[in-house]
Structures are given as C-alpha cells and as structure tokens.
Structure 1
Amino acid sequence: MNETPGPNHYLAAAEFVLMLRQTGLYGTRVLRAMEQVPRVPFLDQRWFALADEDIALPIACGQSILPPSLTALMIDALGVEPAHRVLQVGTGSGYSAAILGRLAASVITVERWRTLADQAHARLRGLGYDMIETVFGDGLDGHPPRAPYDRILVTCAMTAIPAGLSGQLAPGGVLVAPLGDGAGAQDIVRVVRGPEGLVSTAFSRARVEPAVSGVARRL
C-alpha cells in the first residue's frame, strides 16, 4: 500500500471510473471516493484479477461483496456530507465502509459474523481508516449507543425496515436499503425522515443477499 502507483494503476482507476459513469453515476464526490478505494485489499487473492469488474465476488462466511455499480448507486443516493455520522449495516469485507469513510466524518459499521467483523476491523485499521468503528452485532438492531445517525446504509435485503433501525435516523436523515422477500430482485429504497415522518421511494432494483437476524460466531 505504500508503493508509488505506476501508470497501469492510474489507467485502471480511470477505466473503473468510466465504467461507473456509464452505469449512470455522476456524483463527483462518490466517484472520487470509489477511485480512491480499490477493491483488491478487500478480496481474497484469487479474485484480484476480477476486482475492477462490475460483479459481486465471494468473501468469507459464504457472503459476497456487492458489484461496484450497486455500491456506488446506493452510496450516491445517501447524499453523504463531510460532517455526517453514518451507520452501515452489513460490514462484509469493509469495502463499502471504506468508501463511506472517504465521505463522512465518522462511520459505524455493524456485522453479524464475528469472522467478518474481526477481519474488517483489522483491514480498515491497517489501511488507515481510523474514522470507522467496526461493531460485532445484529445490524437489524442498528447501534443505539451512537444514534441518531445522519445517514444509514443497509447492504443486505430486508422484507421490511425495522422500526428500531429507522428510529435511529436523525431529523432529515436518509436510509438506503434493498427491500424485498429475497426470492428475486429487490427494490432499492431511499427513506427520508421528514417533519411528518418517514417517506420511502424506490429508485432501482437489484439482487442482494437477505439479512439474517442475530449474530454468528467464527466458522
């Protein structure tokens, strides 16, 4: 990570950003963050050659890392500002949390698999993301000790948004999550806490792994 990037690195990064633009993403801050956070450090070595492909890739515990275009789409919909406190549900490898860490003042990321939580914590600290706190716990409960949050990102599909989770949104806060029964593509929804309550809008569809309540120990 400390090596000086060569010309091939910059070429690959430029091609990656172009791919994201072609999927319809134009948010400058999110594009810059995606460019600054390569997927390689968040993957097993056998998947390095596919890191810049717009596909989901396997990680530990039978889970997967979302395609970059879906990650970018959901984060862009959050509208994260530099002063925001963000909660992420579903840490996985830590890739999405790292991108959020480039955009927000602080990030709490919650993971139900102990193995993934431990690995992500070590990885993010090793990469210098000191603004990110990794929590082992049931993400569907959010993380009440640090609530309220300006933004909440859920990277696993839910049949409905738990009241306890949406209740941790600050006034004017935004939550983005896949919503559906897991039998096919889910709606990607944007929920805003306004003066008269929560307003939900579906803005895309994708196939995302379903959320599971509770916690799991190491494999």
Structure 2
Amino acid sequence: MRSGMVEKEGFAALVLRLRSEGISDLDLLTAVEQTPRSQFVPPTLTDEAYSSRTIPIECGSFMEGADLAVRLLHRLQVKPGHRVLEIGTGSGFMAGVIGRIAERVLSVERYKTLVTEAQARMDAMGLRNVIVRQADGSNGMPGEGTFDRILVTAAFTTLPRFYAEQLTHGGSMVAPLMLDGENCMMTRLTKTGSRFEREDLFQAPYLPIVPQIASAL
C-alpha cells in the first residue's frame, strides 16, 4: 500500500512542476501515470523515481530525471498512429511512455543487459508494440523504413543530416548536439523535403554518442 501511495504522491508532485513549465498535455501525462517510474529505477532509489535528479542504472548508464524525461517527450509530440524510433533505451521508461501513445516503438541500445531488462519491463506491462533491440544506433536504423518521430539520448558532434532519410515528410527528431567539449543543446529537427529545419530547445546533460554495440555487458 505504501509503495502505491509513494508512486501517486511522486507523480502528483511531478505534474505540479510540469504545469509550472506549461506542460499539461493530458494524453502525455496519462501515459506517464500508466508507466510507473518506480519499476524502472534501481530498487534502492525508488524514493527518487519522480525527482528531477539523474539516476544511475546498469552498465554505467543513467536515467534522466523525471522532469527532463517528460519535457523531452512533450517536445517530441508523439501522436496515435506514429511509428517512433528511440536511440538509447536506457531503463526503457521513455519507450514505455511512448508505447502508450504511438502505434509502434523501436528502441535500440548498445548494452545487452539494458536491452534484456527493458524488454522484460515492456512485457510485464503488456506493451507489445514496443520492441527493444541491441544495435548500433549511431547511424539510426536504416532498413527499418521511415519513422514519424525519432528520439536520441546521446549527443552528436554535428547535425545528423543522414537521419533525414529515416523520417517521414514532416516528421521530426529530438536529439542533443554538442556545443563544446562539455555542453550540449537539445534540438528539434523537422524534415521539410530533403532538409532539416532546426529549433534549439534547451541545454541538457548528455554525453557524446558511442558507435557499435558493447562487447561486454
């Protein structure tokens, strides 16, 4: 009973913080509520599940704070019927939320351990439209068709123009771009014809993207 109350209180506090930022999308917030974050964080950190703190997870990776995660999803603007590609599964939380709105989600991760754990969470929640795969996502997923939305949670050093071929017309991707050696800017890139229109959103704490799948872990 207590864990359920902590979950509800954590979510309610998160909603208040998000509304102060102007984020009140009912479909998105409902999807977040239906995807309990406590099931995605390490057991010793469940009290931090809805905090704005970055949470360490397996394989030296991390999970975005709750505020940043929902802020990114708000900017991604996923709609029913969309096919979505996520580069960097991590815990699987954002893939789970997207899966409650979109038609299909393909989420790729370089660490096998994270893939296995995230897929188990999707299965436990009955999210059969979310596929988690171990793959090198540094060049997207050519050969998988086109996507309406792409979310990347590792930073590029230059504008990833090659992704344009993997987006539908009018489709968009949200991805971080390195500004210098330490800072990166979240950007939204919208496909218009064969070009991208770039919109800078806000700075975020992401590391540069690493090519190839992990040989261990």
TM-score for both structures, normalised by structure 2? 0.91
C-alpha offsets along residues 33-92 of structure 1, whole Å, 9 cap, x if unaligned?
222222111111111111111111000000000112211122111211100000000001
Q: Which amino acid aligns with 1:183?
A: G
Query: Structure 2: which 5+ runs fail to align?
Result: none
- Give yes or no for contact 2:84–2:104 (8 Å, CA) kept in 1: yes
Distance 1:29 1:185 in 2: 32
- Give yes or no for contact 1:182–1:209 (8 Å, CA) kept in 2: no
Question: Shift in Å at residue 27 of structure 1?
Answer: 2.4
User: What residue is the counterpart of 1:134 in the other structure?
Assistant: 132
Distance 2:14 2:60 in 1: 26
- Give yes or no for contact 1:157–1:177 (8 Å, CA) kept in 2: yes
Query: Structure 1: which 5+ runs fail to align?
Result: none
User: What residue is the counterpart of 1:173 in the other structure?
Assistant: 171
Distance 1:120 1:8 in 2: 22
Question: Shift in Å at residue 171 of structure 1?
Answer: 0.7
3-state secondary structure, aligned to 2:138: helix
Find runs of 4+ consecutive structure 1 residues off by over 4 angstroms: 5-9
User: What residue is the counterpart of 1:115 in the other structure?
Assistant: 113
User: What residue is the counterpart of 1:187 in the other structure?
Assistant: 185
Question: Shift in Å at residue 23 of structure 1?
Answer: 3.5
The change in CA–CA distance for 1:44 and 1:11 in structure 2 (over 3 A counts) is closer
Alpha-carbon RMSD? 2.1
User: Number of matched residues?
Assistant: 217
TM-score for both structures, normalised by structure 1? 0.91
- Give % identity: 34
The change in CA–CA distance for 1:109 and 1:161 in structure 2 (over 3 A counts) is farther
Q: Superposed, which structure 2 residues align to 1:2-81 within 5 Å? A: 9-81=7-79
Does residue 158 (structure 1) correspond to residue 156 (structure 2)? The answer is yes
Distance 1:122 1:182 in 2: 37
Distance 2:40 2:5 in 1: 22
User: What residue is the counterpart of 1:124 in the other structure?
Assistant: 122
The change in CA–CA distance for 1:7 and 1:90 in structure 2 (over 3 A counts) is closer
The change in CA–CA distance for 1:181 and 1:203 in structure 2 (over 3 A counts) is closer
Distance 2:104 2:137 in 1: 17
